[in-house]
């Protein structure tokens, strides 16, 4: 069995793991290590302050690099997209979005995705494999080192369904938030799900402190099933009830729902009526995301269509925001970078449009 990788362990489990293998002064060694790993973003054994414990730690744990930077591209608006190759060969994407003082990192949680959403090329890849907690947090460490900029926000909206890789994603969130190590605030870590009801219920029961967003995309069951096969498992009312339970048990004031705008699919009056009907009793913020053309069988909306849709959404009496697609220019579409990097591998990601500036 391979040795555990130091970056894969939850920060509050490190001291116990060290103690278990006989590391002296395990508590103090683990405290120093956490600062190096999750604060300074150490990437090499030489950067870990292990002192006399080095031999014992190296005997029982691994700390080799988990990612190799394969490609990077920068858009005119400053958004940078990084393609990283995992040691097993798959390529994943991470996006750094600059918005005034904020530096938002859009991270992947899986190579590929099992959810098969029709508007997303990652869905067409199927699930290649789950990422480990260490792979997720190492992408942040590498990008901070390369850019010299401190990440302020992390959103799990890259490739993959984060709640389908629940344990690794929760460990990564905890390590991103670890105190005393330049933590990312709880409310600045966002997990976005396509709607796995059992996992949402677990998330609520465990009262996870990170924000949970739901990619709704339609409140009509038939439309949702058409564009998101996962909807066949979870009828819309069951799904929204799970979000109500989450809102209540985690004392969340507003639940954010993502709504990818697809003309001819989910922007007509019937869909506005369905939203008004189904969202009753749920305090929501609706994020409308104009679909970012990635070559699937849909059309990107014009701004006039988006404006008309959001005007009709006013009767929901909830905040409606339009999410600006950061880095939207030729060759910068989600997944293009990893597709170019991994020949013949179509991609894109949960990030239909990477989170960016709220414009309305």
Residue of 81, 85, 98, 350 interacting with ligand SF4 (CB under 6 A): 350
Quote the CA–CA distance of 91 and 89 in Å, as a whole number: 7
Tokens of 56: 């014992």
Residue 290 as a binder of ligand SF4 (CB under 6 A): the answer is no
Residue of 94, 122, 256, 292 interacting with ligand SF4 (CB under 6 A): 122
Residue nearer to ligand SF4 on the CB measure, 141 or 230 = 230
Tokens of 318: 């909830």
* Burial label, 163 (beta-carbon count in 10 A; 0-12, 13-18, 19+): buried
Answer yes or no: 173 catalytic.
no
The neighbour count for residue 296, using CB atoms within 10 Å, is 18
Residue nearer to ligand SF4 on the CB measure, 34 or 353 = 353
Strands 110-112 and 284-290: unpaired
Residue 354 as a binder of ligand SF4 (CB under 6 A): the answer is no
Residue 231: strand pairing partners: none
Q: What x/- string results for residues 298 through 327 when contact with ligand SF4 is judged by CB under 6 A?
A: ------------------------------
Residue 239 as a binder of ligand SF4 (CB under 6 A): the answer is no
**Least distance from C-beta 24 to ligand SF4, angstroms?**
45
Cβ neighbours of residue 95 closer than 8 Å, sequence gap 6 or more? 79, 80, 81, 82, 105, 106, 158, 326, 327, 334, 351, 354
Report DSSP state, residue 22. Answer: T
Residue 117 as a binder of ligand SF4 (CB under 6 A): the answer is yes
Quote the CA–CA distance of 20 and 18 in Å, as a whole number: 5
Q: Which stretch binds ligand SF4 (CB under 6 A): 12-20, 119-127, 140-148, 248-256?
A: 119-127
Q: Pick the catalytic residue: 90, 93, 135, 161? A: 93
Residue nearer to ligand SF4 on the CB measure, 115 or 257 = 115
Q: What do you get for the CA distance between the two ends of the chain, in Å?
A: 52
Q: Which residues bind ligand SF4 (CB under 6 A)?
A: 113, 115-117, 120, 122-123, 159-161, 194, 349-350
């Amino acid at each position: 069995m391979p040795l555990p990788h130091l970056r894969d362990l939850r920060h509050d489990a490190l001291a116990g793991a060290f103690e278990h293998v006989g590391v002296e002064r395990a508590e103090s060694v683990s405290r120093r290590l956490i600062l190096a790993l999750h604060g300074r973003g150490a990437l090499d054994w030489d950067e870990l302050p292990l002192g006399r414990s080095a031999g014992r730690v190296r005997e029982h744990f691994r700390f080799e690099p988990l990612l190799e930077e394969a490609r990077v591209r920068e858009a005119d608006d400053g958004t940078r997209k990084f393609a990283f190759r995992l040691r097993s060969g798959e390529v994943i994407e991470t996006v750094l979005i600059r918005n005034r003082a904020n530096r938002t990192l859009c991270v992947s949680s899986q190579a590929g995705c099992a959810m098969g959403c029709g508007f997303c090329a990652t869905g067409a890849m199927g699930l290649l494999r789950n990422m480990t907690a260490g792979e997720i947090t190492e992408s942040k460490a590498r990008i901070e080192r390369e850019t010299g900029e401190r990440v302020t926000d992390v959103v799990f909206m890259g490739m993959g369904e984060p709640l389908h890789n629940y344990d690794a994603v929760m460990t990564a969130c905890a390590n991103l938030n670890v105190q005393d190590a330049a933590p990312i605030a709880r409310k600045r870590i966002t997990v976005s799900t396509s709607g796995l009801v059992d996992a949402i219920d677990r998330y609520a029961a465990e009262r996870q402190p990170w924000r949970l967003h739901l990619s709704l995309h339609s409140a009509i069951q038939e439309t949702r099933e058409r564009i998101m096969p996962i909807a066949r498992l979870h009828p819309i009312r069951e799904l929204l009830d799970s979000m109500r339970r989450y809102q209540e048990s985690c004392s969340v004031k507003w639940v954010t729902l993502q709504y990818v705008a697809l003309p001819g699919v989910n922007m007509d009056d019937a869909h506005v009526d369905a939203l008004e009907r189904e969202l009753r009793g749920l305090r929501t913020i609706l994020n409308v995301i104009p679909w970012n053309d990635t070559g699937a069988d849909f059309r990107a909306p014009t701004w006039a269509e988006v404006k008309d849709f959001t005007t009709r959404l006013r009767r929901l009496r909830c905040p409606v925001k339009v999410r600006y697609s950061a880095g939207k220019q030729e060759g910068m579409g989600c997944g293009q970078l990893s597709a170019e990097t991994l020949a013949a591998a179509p991609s894109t990601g949960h990030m239909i449009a990477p989170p960016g500036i709220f414009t309305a």
